[in-house]
Amino acid sequence: MTIRQKVLLVEDSKAVQQIYRNKLTLEHFQVITADNGMEAIKALSSERPDIILLDLMMPVMDGYKVLQVVKTDPKLSPIPVLVFSAKGQPEEVEKALNLGAAGYIVKATTKINDVIDQIKTTISRKPVVQEVTRYEVGIRTDAYDAKRLAEDFKFGNFTCPACAAEMVLSLIPDFSHDTPWFSAKFLCPKCRV
Protein backbone atom coordinates (compact mmCIF):
# COMPACT_ATOMS: atom_id res chain seq x y z
CA MET A 1 0.00 0.00 0.00
CA THR A 2 1.29 3.41 -0.87
CA ILE A 3 0.68 6.38 1.36
CA ARG A 4 -1.14 9.06 -0.52
CA GLN A 5 0.25 12.54 -0.27
CA LYS A 6 -2.01 15.08 1.28
CA VAL A 7 -2.87 18.46 -0.22
CA LEU A 8 -4.57 21.23 1.71
CA LEU A 9 -6.49 23.26 -0.85
CA VAL A 10 -7.44 26.71 0.43
CA GLU A 11 -9.78 28.39 -2.02
CA ASP A 12 -12.99 30.38 -1.56
CA SER A 13 -14.45 29.55 -4.98
CA LYS A 14 -16.38 26.28 -4.70
CA ALA A 15 -16.12 25.85 -8.48
CA VAL A 16 -12.32 26.07 -8.48
CA GLN A 17 -12.21 23.83 -5.39
CA GLN A 18 -14.26 21.19 -7.22
CA ILE A 19 -12.06 21.23 -10.33
CA TYR A 20 -8.85 20.87 -8.32
CA ARG A 21 -10.30 18.31 -5.92
CA ASN A 22 -11.33 16.08 -8.85
CA LYS A 23 -8.01 16.42 -10.63
CA LEU A 24 -5.90 15.90 -7.50
CA THR A 25 -7.96 12.85 -6.51
CA LEU A 26 -7.42 11.38 -9.99
CA GLU A 27 -3.70 11.97 -9.47
CA HIS A 28 -3.91 9.92 -6.24
CA PHE A 29 -3.59 12.78 -3.81
CA GLN A 30 -5.63 12.98 -0.66
CA VAL A 31 -7.39 16.36 -0.63
CA ILE A 32 -8.54 18.48 2.29
CA THR A 33 -10.31 21.75 1.48
CA ALA A 34 -10.77 25.02 3.33
CA ASP A 35 -12.95 27.93 2.15
CA ASN A 36 -10.86 30.67 3.72
CA GLY A 37 -7.76 31.35 5.77
CA MET A 38 -9.41 30.85 9.12
CA GLU A 39 -10.59 27.38 8.11
CA ALA A 40 -7.11 26.59 6.82
CA ILE A 41 -5.50 27.44 10.16
CA LYS A 42 -8.14 25.35 11.92
CA ALA A 43 -7.44 22.40 9.60
CA LEU A 44 -3.71 22.70 10.28
CA SER A 45 -4.26 22.12 13.99
CA SER A 46 -5.24 18.51 13.27
CA GLU A 47 -3.95 17.77 9.75
CA ARG A 48 -0.42 17.58 8.43
CA PRO A 49 -0.52 18.15 4.66
CA ASP A 50 2.49 17.55 2.40
CA ILE A 51 1.75 20.79 0.60
CA ILE A 52 -0.64 23.73 0.81
CA LEU A 53 -2.27 25.27 -2.27
CA LEU A 54 -3.26 28.71 -1.16
CA ASP A 55 -5.48 31.30 -2.78
CA LEU A 56 -4.45 34.85 -1.88
CA MET A 57 -7.70 36.75 -2.19
CA MET A 58 -10.24 35.25 0.19
CA PRO A 59 -12.80 36.56 2.66
CA VAL A 60 -12.41 36.25 6.47
CA MET A 61 -8.63 35.71 6.38
CA ASP A 62 -6.59 36.12 3.21
CA GLY A 63 -3.73 33.99 1.95
CA TYR A 64 -0.97 36.39 3.03
CA LYS A 65 -2.07 36.08 6.64
CA VAL A 66 -2.16 32.28 6.38
CA LEU A 67 1.36 32.28 4.90
CA GLN A 68 2.58 34.43 7.73
CA VAL A 69 1.06 32.18 10.38
CA VAL A 70 2.46 29.04 8.71
CA LYS A 71 5.95 30.40 8.08
CA THR A 72 6.47 31.84 11.57
CA ASP A 73 5.33 28.65 13.31
CA PRO A 74 8.32 26.28 13.59
CA LYS A 75 5.99 23.25 13.54
CA LEU A 76 4.24 24.33 10.32
CA SER A 77 6.98 26.19 8.46
CA PRO A 78 8.49 23.09 6.75
CA ILE A 79 5.22 22.57 4.82
CA PRO A 80 5.72 24.02 1.32
CA VAL A 81 3.09 26.53 0.21
CA LEU A 82 2.20 27.24 -3.43
CA VAL A 83 0.09 30.35 -3.85
CA PHE A 84 -2.57 31.01 -6.43
CA SER A 85 -2.09 34.44 -7.87
CA ALA A 86 -5.05 35.71 -9.88
CA LYS A 87 -3.12 37.46 -12.63
CA GLY A 88 0.50 37.16 -11.57
CA GLN A 89 0.88 40.80 -10.54
CA PRO A 90 4.55 41.25 -9.57
CA GLU A 91 3.68 42.90 -6.25
CA GLU A 92 1.39 39.99 -5.28
CA VAL A 93 4.00 37.43 -6.21
CA GLU A 94 6.82 39.29 -4.46
CA LYS A 95 4.81 39.69 -1.27
CA ALA A 96 4.02 35.97 -1.24
CA LEU A 97 7.65 34.94 -1.85
CA ASN A 98 8.80 37.34 0.87
CA LEU A 99 6.43 35.62 3.25
CA GLY A 100 8.01 32.25 2.45
CA ALA A 101 5.91 30.79 -0.39
CA ALA A 102 7.71 27.99 -2.27
CA GLY A 103 6.25 29.17 -5.58
CA TYR A 104 3.19 30.58 -7.23
CA ILE A 105 0.65 29.61 -9.83
CA VAL A 106 -0.96 32.20 -12.08
CA LYS A 107 -4.52 30.97 -11.93
CA ALA A 108 -5.80 32.56 -15.12
CA THR A 109 -3.11 31.19 -17.43
CA THR A 110 -1.76 27.95 -15.91
CA LYS A 111 -3.06 24.62 -17.21
CA ILE A 112 -4.18 22.21 -14.51
CA ASN A 113 -1.64 19.58 -15.63
CA ASP A 114 1.14 22.11 -15.10
CA VAL A 115 -0.21 22.80 -11.63
CA ILE A 116 -0.04 19.07 -10.85
CA ASP A 117 3.57 18.97 -12.11
CA GLN A 118 4.48 21.93 -9.97
CA ILE A 119 2.88 20.31 -6.91
CA LYS A 120 4.86 17.10 -7.48
CA THR A 121 8.15 18.94 -8.02
CA THR A 122 7.65 21.08 -4.95
CA ILE A 123 6.84 18.10 -2.70
CA SER A 124 9.84 16.10 -3.94
CA ARG A 125 12.24 18.97 -3.39
CA LYS A 126 14.21 18.67 -0.18
CA PRO A 127 12.52 20.85 2.39
CA VAL A 128 14.32 24.11 2.73
CA VAL A 129 14.15 25.45 6.22
CA GLN A 130 12.79 28.88 5.56
CA GLU A 131 14.50 31.41 7.78
CA VAL A 132 12.00 34.11 8.54
CA THR A 133 13.79 37.30 9.45
CA ARG A 134 13.28 38.48 12.99
CA TYR A 135 14.67 41.43 14.86
CA GLU A 136 15.23 41.59 18.56
CA VAL A 137 15.18 45.01 20.08
CA GLY A 138 16.28 45.90 23.58
CA ILE A 139 13.93 47.88 25.75
CA ARG A 140 15.00 51.06 27.53
CA THR A 141 13.31 50.42 30.81
CA ASP A 142 13.82 54.01 31.97
CA ALA A 143 11.94 55.44 28.99
CA TYR A 144 8.42 56.62 29.74
CA ASP A 145 6.66 54.51 27.10
CA ALA A 146 8.48 51.40 28.24
CA LYS A 147 7.46 52.03 31.86
CA ARG A 148 3.87 52.41 30.78
CA LEU A 149 4.07 49.26 28.65
CA ALA A 150 5.44 47.35 31.62
CA GLU A 151 2.51 48.50 33.72
CA ASP A 152 -0.07 47.81 31.02
CA PHE A 153 1.28 44.34 30.34
CA LYS A 154 1.94 43.65 34.03
CA PHE A 155 5.63 43.02 33.49
CA GLY A 156 8.06 43.21 36.37
CA ASN A 157 10.32 45.75 34.61
CA PHE A 158 10.63 43.61 31.48
CA THR A 159 12.33 40.70 33.17
CA CYS A 160 11.56 37.08 32.40
CA PRO A 161 9.36 35.53 35.11
CA ALA A 162 11.27 32.23 34.74
CA CYS A 163 14.93 33.29 34.66
CA ALA A 164 14.86 37.03 35.39
CA ALA A 165 16.81 37.87 32.21
CA GLU A 166 15.92 41.13 30.50
CA MET A 167 13.18 40.68 27.91
CA VAL A 168 13.60 41.97 24.36
CA LEU A 169 10.99 43.00 21.85
CA SER A 170 10.93 40.50 18.99
CA LEU A 171 9.78 41.97 15.66
CA ILE A 172 8.66 39.80 12.75
CA PRO A 173 8.17 41.62 9.42
CA ASP A 174 4.64 41.23 8.09
CA PHE A 175 4.75 41.64 4.31
CA SER A 176 0.98 41.26 4.02
CA HIS A 177 0.66 45.01 4.55
CA ASP A 178 1.51 47.65 1.98
CA THR A 179 3.39 49.77 4.52
CA PRO A 180 6.29 48.58 6.70
CA TRP A 181 4.62 46.44 9.32
CA PHE A 182 5.70 44.12 12.11
CA SER A 183 4.14 41.66 14.46
CA ALA A 184 5.79 42.05 17.84
CA LYS A 185 6.08 40.03 21.00
CA PHE A 186 8.13 40.14 24.15
CA LEU A 187 10.73 37.44 24.28
CA CYS A 188 13.19 36.14 26.86
CA PRO A 189 16.51 35.80 24.97
CA LYS A 190 17.49 32.86 27.21
CA CYS A 191 14.27 30.87 27.44
CA ARG A 192 13.23 31.89 23.87
CA VAL A 193 9.62 32.19 24.94
Among 1-9, 55-63, 84-92, 185-193, which window interacts with Zn ion (CB under 5 A)?
Answer: 185-193
Shortest approach of Zn ion to residue 51 CB, angstroms? 36
Task: Please pick, from the candidates 42, 125, 140, 190, the single residue that binds Zn ion as defined by CB under 5 A.
Answer: 190
Shortest approach of Zn ion to residue 188 CB, angstroms? 3
Applying the rule CB under 5 A, the residues between 150 and 179 that interact with Zn ion are 160, 162-163, 165
How far is it, in rounded angstroms, from Cα 67 to Cα 59? 15
Q: Looking at beta carbons only, is 140 or 190 nearer to Zn ion?
A: 190
CB 79 within 8 A of CB 72: no
Q: How many residues bind Zn ion (CB under 5 A)?
A: 7
SS (HEC) of 116-151: HHHHHHHHHCCCCCCCCCCEEECCCCCCHHHHHHHH
- DSSP category for residue 73: S
Report strand pairing: 135-137 vs 182-187: unpaired
Residue 115 as a binder of Zn ion (CB under 5 A): the answer is no
Q: Which residues bind Zn ion (CB under 5 A)?
A: 160, 162-163, 165, 188, 190-191
